[in-house]
Amino acid sequence: MSLADERKKIDRLNSEIAKLLVKRFEIADSISQIKQQNGLPILNKNREKEVLKKLTNVSDNNKYQEKIENIFIKIMDETKKAEEE
C-alpha cells in the first residue's frame, strides 16, 4: 500500500460521492416542485432531525459519527439553497 494507491482510492470515492450528490440534488429539485405545487415550505426541521437520526449508527466507528452528521447538515443546507433558487 503506497500513498499513491491510497490517493487513487480517495479519488474514486470522491467521484462516487460527487455523482451521488448530483442525484441527491436532482431528487431535491423534484421534491421542491412537489412542495411548491402543494404550498409546502422548503424548510422542514422535523425531516432534518429524522435524516440525522437515521445516520446515528451508519458508521461502525463512532469516531466519525459527528463528522458524518456535520457533513450531512452542510449537504442539507446546500440542498435548501438549491430548492430556493
Per-residue pLDDT, 33:
92
Number of domains in the chain: 1
State mean pLDDT over 72-82.
91
- The pLDDT tens digits of the residues spanning 1-60 come to 899 999 999 999 999 999 999 999 999 999 999 999 999 988 889 999 999 888 877 767
Which residues form the domain of 73? Answer: 3-84
Residue type present at position 27: I
In CATH, what number is assigned to the domain containing residue 21? 1.20.59.10
Per-residue pLDDT, 19:
98
Per-residue pLDDT, 82:
83
Report residue 73 CA to chain centroid gap: 8
32 touches 26 (CB < 8 A): no
